[in-house]
Structure 1
Amino acid sequence: MRRWAFKCIEGILRDYPNIPDYIKQREQELMYPIQTPDENIGGGRSSTIIKPQERMIITLDEDRRLNALKQQRKLIDDTLDEFGTDTEVIINELYFKKRQEYTIEGLIEQRKIFVGRSKAFELKTKFIESLGTKLGLY
């Protein structure tokens, strides 16, 4: 895997805990858009009348950014489910925590994971490669 793709996937993983907030924020932006005042006084009428609720549902379903965030979260969750608990502990400690307590060596020494050093790095790499394949970056 190329270094840029590896770093990009690591960035996505570090941002994973914030994805629900991004989704909520984007939904709020779409449901309550900024209204600009209409300068057209006495203008014509629209030929198609769509209720605001229908417009909001269509917008939420078709928004690319919102769908990309949901897809990203789903792919990370699915990839985590495919791997064992050791990989989940490694990824959680290295990427999901705000303040990292342990390195891979620290996880092994503290008996948080039950594999050797080379196997731990292999699990991390395989996880990132699998996620990269699903995201289309590898």
Structure 2
Amino acid sequence: MTFSRRSFSALAACISISIGVLVAAPRAQAQDFPFGQEMTLDVRPLPGSKRVPSLEIGDRGETRIELWCKGGRGQFSVAGETIVFVPGAMEERACPPDKAQLDDALIATLSEATNWKRQGDYISFIGARTLRFHLNSN
């Protein structure tokens, strides 16, 4: 079977389009990640508190974290369904030991997440344990 120049060009165009679709698919999914938005952990406040942990994720993954007591910064990196969270320094506030321990456990769980999933206004960070956040809408 011989290919004419026109057939070869058509085949090359089809291959280029297919590669473009495959390469763009992870990017499209990463764009569904809520960059530039705030979200709140899907839990009730602790007894005697109105505070619930929240994340404010910037357009490039830079993150402001407010926990039950501590706060700080971190960085999310997203590639398709894969996620990496690297925490930065946390502000040492006057935290009771039980709240400080909960904050440390939440940061550790978030750091261990390897995947993410979006279902409507809910974002789940999936690892050994799953954390579910609700997107804040104003």
Task: Output the TM-score relative to the length of structure 2.
Answer: 0.29
Report 1 or 2 for greater relative contact order, CA contacts < 8 Å, sequence distance ≥ 6. Answer: 1
Task: Output the TM-score relative to the length of structure 1.
Answer: 0.29
- Structure number with the higher helix fraction is 1
